[in-house]
Amino acid sequence: MTKTELVKEVAKKTKAPQKEVEAVLSNFFDTVKLSVKKGDKVAIIGFGNFEAKKRAQRTGVNPKTRKKMTIPEKRVPVFRPGKAFKEIVASK
């Protein structure tokens, strides 16, 4: 599902104009991104948690030259689904 499809679906369910739904979703996504960038954890009960984790420095191989190289440590975004989300996805 794309963002456009999500906006249409939410607008249909809430009977709100698509422009308003798009604005709310965009602000939600921006707020989550900025909060995670600051190092905060965003926990949405029943859905999941968004946070940043540190990925340690490691050794890799350049596939083109086959030379070993060091991949520096970096922060990466992580989403962990909540229990209710996992149960819905697991059910048939």
The CATH number of residue 67's host domain is 4.10.520.10
pLDDT of residue 69: 95
- CA angle at residue 86 from 81 to 92, to 5 degrees? 150
* C-alpha–C-alpha distance, residues 41 and 50, integer Å: 6
Residue by residue, pLDDT tens for the chain (92 residues) are 999 999 999 999 999 999 999 999 999 999 999 999 999 999 999 999 999 999 999 999 999 999 999 999 999 999 999 999 999 999 97
Q: Is 62 inside any structural domain?
A: yes
Q: Is 9 inside any structural domain?
A: yes
Sign of the torsion angle spanned by Cα atoms 35, 36, 39, 42: positive
3-14 vs 18-38: helix crossing angle, rounded to 10: 120
Q: pTM for this structure? A: 0.80
Q: What's the domain range around 43? A: 3-81
Q: Is 70 inside any structural domain?
A: yes
Q: Is 90 inside any structural domain?
A: no
Number of domains into which the chain is organized? 1
Q: Is 89 inside any structural domain?
A: no
Q: Is 65 inside any structural domain?
A: yes
pLDDT of residue 73: 96
